[in-house]
Structure 1
Amino acid sequence: MKKIIFTLFAATALSMAIGTSNTEASNYTVQSGDTLWKIASSNNISVNQILSWNNLSSNSIYPNQKIKVSAASTTVATPTKPAVSSTPVTSVNTYTVKSGDTLSRIARLHSTSVSSIQQLNKLSGSNIFPGQKLTVSGKVIATPTTTVKVPTAAPTVSSTSTYRVVSGDTLTNIAKRHNTSVSQLMSLNSLKSSSIRIGQVLKVDAKSATGSLVTVSNPVITPPVNSGAISTLVTSANSFLGTPYKWGGSAPGGFDCSGYIYYVYNQAGFSVPRTNTTGFYALSSPVSSPQIGDLVFFKDTYRPGISHMGILIGNNSFIHAGGDRVQITSLNDKYWSSKFDSYQRLNVMK
């Protein structure tokens, strides 16, 4: 009888140990030099997921901090016989990427591997973006529906039919901003010289005469041409997440938006000068099909005209030194989408 009781006790203890180890596997102890981006990459999850699972309000972490790296339940497993799932299985061929998706999650959902999805879709990296169509294989197991707040539609850039001149404007930068030419602006506005004045209202497109509004939809992100250098750039940019904002700063002790761009681009091997947002705008060219690593410009933030910038990193997001620190922000953000100006590519990257 004692032998039977001991055997039952040992089996119970073993099952509890197994359940506990599963729970511990969802945690990670922060090491010196870690960043949320590095931890997220190692565990095939996103920074936003880590922030949500750990109720973090910023990207700041410290050594020996316990971080949850999966949404696994912390309930201790019981040695019950697993039930046979009656969840329906549906065969699919394509999948549309949603906000928060990763290749790892999509692979698990469709019972395939990340490498298989990369091969099927000719992906050189793991960067994907909402709305992207991916070819998948195998079976997709329908999972319970989780209510998720759907972000607003991707920002669109409305190229208005007229433009009001602000301090510092020239016909050249106005033409560049609206994808037109100086000569066309002069013709549309019957100008005999390039002189303009603050407050002057200019027609900026050929359809202005009829009063039509031209809407430019948010372009689809294309794969980077120089994926090795771009990967280095994005890795360098992410390594400074949480670095304090410092006006005029251009070193790891603190950055402003242009100083941050200057530092990480040079770290990635692109020789760019230390200049401000207007200077970077002049050193780049508009792109209709932006790629990861391109610049995102914003206008009329703390001053009229081009006044802020960041780096496009995919998933409809950009990384920048803004607010009180270096951070990743969605282009769907209400404030930043209202200030969006254009996607540009530095001339040194061509």
Structure 2
Amino acid sequence: AGIIEPGAFRFICNGEQVLHLEIALGYQHRGVERTMTADDNVLRQTLVAESVAGDSAVAHATAYAQLREKLAGKEGAPTPLDRERAIALELERMAMHIADTGALCMDVGYQLGQVACEALRTVTINTTQAWCGNRFGKGLIRPFGTNHPLTDTTIDLVRRNIADVRRRYDEVRHDIKSSPSLLSRFEQCGIVPRSEMIRIGGVGPAARASGVGRDLRSSHPWGVYGGEILHEPFVKQQGDVMARLMMRCRETLQSADYVLRLLDACDPAAPLPSPDYAPAARPDALAFGLVEGWRGEICHVALTDAQGALRGYKIKDPSLHNWLALALAVRGEGISDFPICNKSFNLSYCGHDL
């Protein structure tokens, strides 16, 4: 890429070998955090939150909704609303992990894996669209309630689609693992040792692929993750492209199992509250929203003034940590291996530029 709108990459090479990669980001100057405190319109803030990173709309909107509910003093026992939010999060995780699997297959010329994953990802995001009207889940997560409660019809559709996607994706996973040409490209490529991942504060599947078991669903469980689902994160030790790919494969299957289990516990007859866009908020308060998105941990932090309005807002997307991991991964590798190293992280420009 060299120079693109949101970032610049400078490769320092000795022939074909990368000695160092300098990554400079933030040229779009999006002003997301500043927009969150421009006025106290909760609906507008919700729309901004789900636009922090378009491929993590559900995760960022959930973090904002959690924060708002804590400011209103309404956190407590898991509710049916928490269950539906968890289903949406796991659907988002599935869709993006499947897309990344296809992208890695594409970069090494494995067209069968690419087109199979593209088809499965389409089924997954179309399932989300059938639920809420948007493929990326925008409009699905709202503070204090929902405009799209699950119905018997929606539950049947999601259950049928996800069970089929799980079965077919598992076949793709077996094909990848049994292809010597793919293994020769992915194994021992782009290694980030555990010590380095700890040093830079790496998060998400990339960190877990290097032996660092960071996952908010187990370390800071909320809602159903502290009861109906006792999450055990997968951890690998190799820290290479193959480990990061296999993390995606295992987590996709795990998320599908979670979705199916949560759907079985859903009761469409139980009414869910509608969103509240004019909540009372505690004055002079500090609140956090913590969610494990598909890239890793997402954190939203807010401070309120004496009237309960937001006077400070900070967002931490997992890409903030992991861009440096990409620079470490390509160090000492051939320049031709940069695309698969890059895809094995699939980091966000806009999530970094806030």
TM-score, normalization by structure 1? 0.22
Q: Which has the larger radius of gyration?
A: 1
Higher RCO structure (Cα 8 Å, ≥6 apart)? 2
- Structure (1/2) with the larger strand percentage: 1
- Structure (1/2) with the larger helix percentage: 2
